[in-house]
């Protein structure tokens, strides 16, 4: 799956907007905050309803139990801009991981789990760079993949999957 970095407040202005009024990158998205966390909290990560749907489908396809396993988000050195995103499934959290739970009771079309919650794991070192970010999933005719909307990113490269914090 492709990953793309989007920075809040970047992109083309809305029709009729001036250059000083950037496009709202969250327009049209349904943001879900983790259980026990406030919306847009810097001490958490968030996902969109589109990402929730895709995570549920992928967990079922990979045979990962939503009760024990989850999606692991991370950051590692490398890439054009110095840091790259990592995304994969894991059968259980590690000892020091931050575990975020999303979507309990939130139904998504074609949901194979029956609206069960999903868990997102983030290791402590990666969380330094991912705190406050939103994970979205985009599916268009041109591309399909997860988008990392990361307020900690100061610049990204042309490929969109690496960044500088």
Per-residue model confidence as pLDDT tens digits over 39-93: 888 889 999 999 999 999 999 999 998 889 999 999 988 766 678 889 999 999 9
Domain coordinates in residue numbering, the chain: 31-164
31-164 CATH choice from 3.40.1000.10, 3.30.530.20, 2.60.300.12, 2.60.40.10: 2.60.300.12
Over pLDDT 70: what percentage of the chain?
Answer: 76
More confident residue, 76 or 15: 76
DSSP character string of the chain: -EEEEE-TT-SPPPTT--TTS---TTTT--EEEPTTS-TT-TTS-EEEHHHHHHHHHHHHHHT--TTT-EEEEEEEE-STTSEEEEEEEESS--TT-EEEEE-TT---TT-TTSS--EEEEE-HHHHHHHTT-EEEEEE-SS-EEEEEE-TT-SEE-TTSSEEE-
0.85 exceeded by the pTM?
no
* Amino acid 84: pLDDT: 87
CB-facing half-sphere around the CA of 36: CA atoms within 13 A: 6
What residues pair up with 100 in beta bridges, in sequence order?
Answer: 120
Average confidence (pLDDT) over 11-24:
46
More confident residue, 33 or 4: 33
Write phi, then psi, for 127 (nearest 5 degrees). -60, -30
Contacts 24+ apart (CB under 8 A), 22-29: 25/149, 26/134, 26/149, 29/134, 29/136
């Amino acid at each position: 799956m492709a990953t793309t970095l989007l920075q809040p407040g970047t992109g083309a202005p809305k029709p009729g907007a001036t250059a000083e009024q950037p496009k709202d990158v969250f327009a049209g998205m349904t943001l879900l905050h983790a259980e026990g966390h406030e919306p847009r909290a810097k001490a958490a990560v968030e996902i969109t309803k589109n990402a929730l749907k895709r995570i549920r489908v992928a967990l079922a396809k990979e045979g990962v139990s939503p009760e024990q396993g989850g999606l692991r988000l991370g950051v590692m050195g490398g890439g054009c801009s110095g840091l790259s995103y990592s995304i994969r499934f894991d059968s259980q959290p590690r000892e020091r991981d931050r575990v975020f739970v999303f979507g309990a009771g939130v139904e998504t079309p074609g949901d194979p789990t029956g609206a069960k919650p999903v868990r997102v794991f983030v290791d402590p070192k990666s969380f330094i760079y991912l705190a406050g970010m939103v994970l979205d999933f985009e599916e268009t005719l041109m591309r399909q993949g997860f988008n990392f909307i990361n307020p900690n990113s100061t610049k990204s490269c042309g490929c969109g999957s690496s960044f500088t914090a």
